């Protein structure tokens, strides 16, 4: 729940900043707002908007910035721990590119530095994007106690 709330909060903040940037571009090119220009009418001699090209390129750059921002937010949230929201560390390669049938498909495993879980990301994507596999760990102290009791 905390993971999804953090993702929604990041998207909300980014959306607010991008809306402010859009508002700034619209104010900067106020005379170039082509949606308010209806053309010359018999009763009024409205002038065509100025700098429509600059307005269009600014909106194009803003839309590219928005797409990049959303991509960065999603990429960042995919590599965070689902429990404590810290960045996952220690990437370990599993499987083999040359022995897929014997060893398994190549994967990269990331682990939470506090032991909350492991994220397995497939490096080989044959049938489209596969969702990373998050496996939560149990409490490491419980596991250590069980290990100690099994030795006795």
Residues forming the site for Zn ion (CB under 5 A): 81, 83-84, 112, 114, 116
Residue with tokens 């994007």: 129
Whose Cβ is closer to Zn ion: residue 116's or residue 121's? Answer: 116
**Shortest Cβ distance from residue 140 to Zn ion (Å)?**
11
Spatial contact of 88 and 75, defined as CB atoms under 8 Å apart:
no
**Shortest Cβ distance from residue 81 to Zn ion (Å)?**
3
User: Cα separation of 21 and 27, whole Å?
Assistant: 10
Spatial contact of 46 and 38, defined as CB atoms under 8 Å apart:
yes
Whose Cβ is closer to Zn ion: residue 3's or residue 37's? Answer: 3
Whose Cβ is closer to Zn ion: residue 29's or residue 117's? Answer: 117
**Shortest Cβ distance from residue 133 to Zn ion (Å)?**
16
Whose Cβ is closer to Zn ion: residue 32's or residue 81's? Answer: 81
**Shortest Cβ distance from residue 87 to Zn ion (Å)?**
9
User: Cα separation of 17 and 72, whole Å?
Assistant: 15
Dihedral (CA of 123, 124, 129, 131) sign: negative
């Amino acid at each position: 729940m905390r993971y999804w709330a953090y993702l929604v909060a990041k998207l909300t903040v980014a959306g607010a900043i991008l809306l402010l940037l859009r508002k700034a571009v619209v104010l900067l090119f106020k005379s170039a707002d082509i949606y308010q220009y209806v053309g010359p009418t018999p009763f009024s001699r409205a002038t065509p908007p100025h700098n429509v090209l600059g307005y269009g390129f600014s909106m194009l750059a803003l839309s590219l910035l928005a797409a990049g921002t959303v991509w960065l937010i999603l990429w960042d949230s995919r590599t965070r721990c689902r429990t404590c929201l810290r960045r996952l560390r220690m990437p370990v390669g599993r499987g083999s590119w040359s022995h897929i049938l014997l060893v398994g498909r190549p994967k990269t495993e990331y682990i939470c530095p506090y032991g909350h879980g492991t994220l397995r990301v497939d490096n080989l994507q044959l049938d489209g994007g596969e969702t990373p596999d998050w496996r939560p760990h149990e409490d490491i102290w419980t596991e250590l106690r069980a290990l100690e009791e099994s030795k006795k």
